[in-house]
Structure 1
Amino acid sequence: MYDIVGRRPLWYVVTLILIVPGIVFMIWSMFTYGTLLPLNIDYTGGTLWELRFDRPVEPEAVRQLFVENGYTSADAYTVGDDQTVQVKFANIDIAAKEDLTAALTSAFGAFEERSYRSIGPTIGGEVSRAALGAVVISSVGILIYIAWAFRQVAHAFRYGTCAIIALVHDVLVTVTFVGIMHWVAGWEVDALFLTAILTVIGFSVNDTIVIFDRIRENLRRHRGEDFATIANRSILETLNRSLATQFTVFLVMVALLLFGGGSIRQFMSTMFVGMVSGAYSTIFIATPLLVAWEERSLLGHSRKSRAVTNGNTPVTV
């Protein structure tokens, strides 16, 4: 029987490799933008204008034109190819937009307006607060639910805590991916990022509960066996079910990535990476951490914990 939980030092190293870049990116973003992540106008408020020119255009030249017209905080970057530029800047009225249109046409020639949208700072602030509240409330709700669902098992709170730690891992891995794509393609965090994160949280915790539930069953079936062996057996017994479910979801997401169109590609890519991370953390983070906590051994040199009987309730000592 392959010992997954016994190799937890290896999984710790892999985890650090995955999440440290995300932490570094958030620190960099805080110093650069004043926020933990580079936020889209969905959160900050402002105008996002996407322009398609008849010839390749340098985004820095477009940004400089906006600066010369008084929009000193404007930012511009290419989208898809070097003929499409997206500009982010402060909200403007119709007259100011007409002036900018004339200046852009004079400098770069005719262009097509792909999209134009403005969001007020009040709405952006409300979205930010709602996003943070949704993540916090969902995490607390998950912790309470798991602790209640596993109340007949000793140290039920540990199950919920380990599940939340795995979710934090998934969020940080997703942030790592978004950070890489921000440097490569200018990605910013929009409202769909929150949707992707909440979907990943739900998917990941569902898989974690399946394994934890099997641990609870095996504690009854294999009384007297050490906890690490029971946990490892539970992972292997549910592995086929987990892989089959994840493979089905991945097929759907790959299809959407390939044929869903550019408007949802960032969303689907973010969610795909988060789902992969969730599949990993369920097996290699949540359960090994639970074993380490039960055996009070982070690196695997364990004080063996045995499943014993306390009336009809399995406990570990």
Structure 2
Amino acid sequence: MIKRRKIFYAFSTILIVASIISLAIFRLPLGIDFKGGSIMELTFESDEGGRIPSGDEIRAVLSGFSNGTVTVQSSGENSFILRFDEITEETHIAMLERLEGLEGASAREERFDSIGPTIGAETTRKSLQAMGLVIVMVAGYVAWAFRRVKYPLSSTRWGVVVLVALFHDVLITAGAFSIFAHFVSAEVGVPFIAAMLTILGYSVTDTIVVFDRIRENLLRFGSKISFGELAEKSVRETIVRSLNVSLTTIFVLVSILFLGGATLRDFMLVLIIGIAVGTYSSIALASPMLVSWANRKS
């Protein structure tokens, strides 16, 4: 791993550049949690001899009630989640009456929420602050946890490496999701932020396991072997554990992705991408960066 670190650096650089390009072209489509709007969840029951309307039919019926685009997402056999611009209560009632008047099926509203643009902007600001605070606090914790390590790098630099790895994980995950969202009409909501925060915690835990083994081997071998060899040894000793834990988690998430319904789809997908990228960075990026920094210092 350590000897091939330049290959991993190049691979990560390609992924980062691709993610930046993807975010610039497709952008992250903000849901109503961030830009404001309304969300309605409906369940249809077909009348005798009737049928459940399709998403396109529902969209066509409601297109005249909203100034923007009406997004219709299936959340089950007879259920749909509708997203559109913020509407008044009068428009909300008119929508329900129109849907209940569809021939062949009756509609039942399960949920309705409306969020103004001001609240959406505040949610965006607080979400970004939360992610930034978590990244900084995690890097600070790593620097504190490894404060007794003086050779070959100070603990502060261990924290900086974690900071870079976390930024790498967040950026690539966001870029991959922007591509997915562009083709399947997914949106970024509060679950996306929750998934990102989960990824940060998962990634740093995996990285600390490797770093802790490096610290143990430093105490055991000291300067008897080079830091590069010591880091390689530490990665090899922990790689099976990291892969087993990550693959087990991903298998569970994939099962939920396919069996948990549309409402969990985006959340599960972000977690799968993020955990895969986080596992890669903890094994092939974080420790090699320590070695490169130590070699430059020497």
Q: Aligned-pair distance for 1:105?
A: 7.2
The one-letter amino acid of 2:87's match is I
Counterpart position of 1:308? none
Q: Which of 51, 54, 77 is 2:52 aligned to?
A: 54
Q: Aligned-pair distance for 1:188?
A: 0.7
For 1:234 and 1:107, the matched residues in 2 are separated by 65
Q: Which of 63, 67, 73 is 1:72 aligned to?
A: 67
Counterpart position of 1:122? 118
- The runs of 5 or more residues in structure 1 that have no matched partner are 31-36, 297-304, 306-316
Structure 2 residue 140 is matched with structure 1 residue 161: no
Counterpart position of 1:177? 176
Q: Aligned-pair distance for 1:193?
A: 0.8
Q: Aligned-pair distance for 1:101?
A: 4.4
Q: Would the aligned equivalents of 1:57 and 1:108 in 2 still touch at CA under 8 Å?
A: no
Q: Would the aligned equivalents of 1:63 and 1:76 in 2 still touch at CA under 8 Å?
A: no
- The runs of 5 or more residues in structure 2 that have no matched partner are 45-50
For 2:210 and 2:32, the matched residues in 1 are separated by 40
The one-letter amino acid of 1:184's match is F
Counterpart position of 2:47? none
Q: Would the aligned equivalents of 2:203 and 2:278 in 1 still touch at CA under 8 Å?
A: yes
Q: Aligned-pair distance for 1:40?
A: 0.8
Q: Which of 28, 39, 45 is 2:36 aligned to?
A: 45
Counterpart position of 1:271? 271
Q: Aligned-pair distance for 1:98?
A: 3.2
Q: Report sequence identity in percent.
A: 36
C-alpha distance after superposition, 1:38-64 (max 9, x if no partner): 1111112111235668344548x9369
Q: Aligned-pair distance for 1:84?
A: 7.6
The one-letter amino acid of 2:69's match is A
Structure 2 residue 257 is matched with structure 1 residue 257: yes
TM-score of the pair, normalised by structure 2: 0.83
The one-letter amino acid of 1:164's match is L
C-alpha distance after superposition, 1:85-106 (max 9, x if no partner): 7543332223212334456678
SS at match of 1:200: helix
Q: Which of 93, 106, 116 is 2:88 aligned to?
A: 93
TM-score of the pair, normalised by structure 1: 0.78
For 2:16 and 2:162, the matched residues in 1 are separated by 17
CA 1:148–1:57: 2 relative to 1, 3 Å: closer
Q: Would the aligned equivalents of 1:214 and 1:234 in 2 still touch at CA under 8 Å?
A: yes
For 1:40 and 1:10, the matched residues in 2 are separated by 37
For 2:128 and 2:135, the matched residues in 1 are separated by 11
Q: Which of 8, 11, 20 is 1:11 aligned to?
A: 8
The CA RMSD measured in Å over matched residues stands at 2.9
For 1:98 and 1:249, the matched residues in 2 are separated by 44
Counterpart position of 2:212? 213
For 2:208 and 2:56, the matched residues in 1 are separated by 50
C-alpha distance after superposition, 1:169-217 (max 9, x if no partner): 1112211231122122101111011111111111110111111111122
For 1:50 and 1:181, the matched residues in 2 are separated by 23
Counterpart position of 1:151? 147
SS at match of 1:5: coil
For 1:45 and 1:109, the matched residues in 2 are separated by 33
C-alpha distance after superposition, 1:124-156 (max 9, x if no partner): 233222211111111111111111111122321
CA 1:261–1:87: 2 relative to 1, 3 Å: closer
Q: Aligned-pair distance for 1:270?
A: 1.1
Which moves more between the two structures, 142-151 or 259-268? 259-268
